[in-house]
Amino acid sequence: MQLKKPEEPELGSPISEDLLSQVNQKLTAEMGLYFPKERWGDLARGIAAAASEFDFQNIECFFRWIVLSELTRNQIKTLASHLTVGETYFFRESKSLEILEEHILPELIRSRRGIDQRLRIWSAGCCTGEEPYTIAILLDRLLPDIKDWQVTITATDINPSFLKKASDGVYSEWSFRETPSRIKERYFKNRKRDQFEVFPNIKRMVTFSYLNLAEDAHPSPLSNTGAMDVILCRNVLMYFGANQVNRAIQNFYKSLVEGGWLAVSPSEISSTLFSQFVSVSFPGAYLYKKDSARRRKVEAHPYEAGEASDSLQLPLNGFAPSAPAVPLSKASEITVPSETATEQPQSTPYLEALALYEQARYRDVVDQLLAWLSRHQAGSSGEGPSAKAIALLARAYANQGLLVEALEWCGKAIAADKLDPGCHYLSATILQEQGQVEEAIKALKRALYLDHEFVPAHFALANLWLHKKNFVESGKHFRNALSLLRNYPQEAILPGSEGITAGKLAEIISSMAEGTKSV
């Protein structure tokens, strides 16, 4: 073990390998981070540096405490600020960025232009912001009419000090080591020597927030991590334990729309780990595509590295909004008989569709439910879809980013069961995504009128008011959410949250309160 800087707490007697291994296991479970033996020095130094923030003088006691404690979100944040690797820079791993810029984003833009001008990108493990700002710059270059687009770039990380630096958006020369100087001049303001601030129009495109990828709390409307077109999670999973890598990959699959893309770094490519995805080979890089209809691996395309990519037949045809078996025009003609509201959702087609939904096979959910509706409409015997099934159809559309259809089916679900606050909440999340904030607020108020104890609606309303700088209303709804959450067991999954536990949401609100002082 190396000598430490004088300000670091003393390790005292060396920590036993057994204790280091127990702490390692605990951190892997809670934060994903796995330290192989050759990095135990880093692990020991990081934990020792965190000890004083937990008021521990004796480092060994602190190690034991970590093993035995149930770590809160704030404690995980503190540990993360000492244990995570902050290596990143603008335009890192240029090959995969070129593929995004030259193929994936242009195709996506072409397929959405004039139809549904939205793009959703997630930089997972965004560190100090260089990666999501790089994506914002790419989009700014690709979209001359960017003002007419609804662009969401969600950037998340576990380390709060990285996130703070990211939101400040000020960088030194070192962050530009792979950046062409014309881009630096075009998108950054030179504040003083070796201090470059990203331009406000680029800064506004990115939303930074805390998210621990080792938790199963995504995709969720609460973290805005669903219906993503592209996810970048580069140089993050390489630090994770095997189980956590697997879970994170499964959750990314769920977070993507049909035809959406996942980019990892070249050293993280693995045919076994990403077997759910179709692996697509481009010159110089692989990307993973969600294509549940063709869940098979595509062999490398027969081109040489360096060959002009636009002459290649790249399998990029999955961008068009996915076409369900029943055409949308016809689907919207299907009416939902009002008596279906009273039927039980336990019928087999519903359960089958729910199972598909849980596997993130949203297009199959749509096909299955629309076919069921058609059969019922054609007079087949047997139950028709319940309001719950219609709501599931709306959610499946929403998770594919098909917001118009999702909203339409939300309306039908509400007509079939006027008393379900969940449908009003779902329509609020869709309206918000469409930029219809006032309508979203009205829908959330309707959800709360039906069920004043519907926690996700309080949380969403609090965030919308916060966004509108109405701190009184925002604080009121955060407080309501917190007080209602006390009635739930910590581990209970909140209805309407798609997997977030009561304890986690309470932690999220409390840590937001620290930031805003509005609760």
> Which residue, among 364, 355, 432, 439, has the nearest Cα to 397 in the 3D structure?
364
Q: Does 174 bind ligand SAM (CB under 6 A)?
A: no
Q: Does 224 bind ligand SAM (CB under 6 A)?
A: no
Long-range CB pairs of 196-201, under 8 A, 24+ apart, other chains included: 196/170, 196/171, 196/172, 197/169, 197/170, 197/171, 198/129, 198/133, 198/169, 198/170, 198/171, 201/140
Q: Which is nearer to ligand SAM, 159 or 518 (CB)?
A: 159
Q: Which is nearer to ligand SAM, 132 or 321 (CB)?
A: 132
For ligand SAM, which residue of 55, 87, 339, 491 counts as binding (CB under 6 A)?
87
Quick one: DSSP state of residue 15? P
> Which residue, among 127, 162, 138, 153, has the nearest Cα to 235 in the 3D structure?
127
**If DSSP codes are grouped into helix, strand and coil, which group holds residue 397?**
helix
**If DSSP codes are grouped into helix, strand and coil, which group holds residue 207?**
strand
**If DSSP codes are grouped into helix, strand and coil, which group holds residue 287?**
strand
Q: Which is nearer to ligand SAM, 63 or 239 (CB)?
A: 239
For ligand SAM, which residue of 213, 227, 392, 441 counts as binding (CB under 6 A)?
213
For ligand SAM, which residue of 214, 217, 402, 430 counts as binding (CB under 6 A)?
214
Q: Does 457 bind ligand SAM (CB under 6 A)?
A: no
For ligand SAM, which residue of 24, 90, 97, 157 counts as binding (CB under 6 A)?
157
For ligand SAM, which residue of 46, 125, 169, 475 counts as binding (CB under 6 A)?
125
CB 478 within 8 A of CB 518: yes
Q: Give residue 130's identity as a one-letter amino acid code.
A: E
Q: Does 159 bind ligand SAM (CB under 6 A)?
A: yes
Distances (CA, A) of 289 to 112, 297, 349: 18, 10, 28
Provide φ and ψ at 217, rounded to 5°. Answer: -100, 20
* Residue carrying the six token digits 């290596």: 87
Give CA 239 to chain center in angstroms.
19
Q: Does 32 bind ligand SAM (CB under 6 A)?
A: yes
Q: Which is nearer to ligand SAM, 111 or 511 (CB)?
A: 511
Q: Does 225 bind ligand SAM (CB under 6 A)?
A: no
Distance CA 398, CA 426 (A): 9
Q: Does 235 bind ligand SAM (CB under 6 A)?
A: yes
Closest distance to ligand SAM from the beta carbon of 383 (Å): 43
For ligand SAM, which residue of 28, 84, 224, 480 counts as binding (CB under 6 A)?
84
Q: Does 234 bind ligand SAM (CB under 6 A)?
A: yes
Q: Does 71 bind ligand SAM (CB under 6 A)?
A: no
Closest distance to ligand SAM from the beta carbon of 87 (Å): 5
Q: Does 212 bind ligand SAM (CB under 6 A)?
A: yes
**If DSSP codes are grouped into helix, strand and coil, which group holds residue 288?**
strand
Contact positions toward ligand SAM, by CB under 6 A? 31-33, 80, 84-88, 92, 125, 127, 131, 157-159, 162, 211-214, 234-236, 239
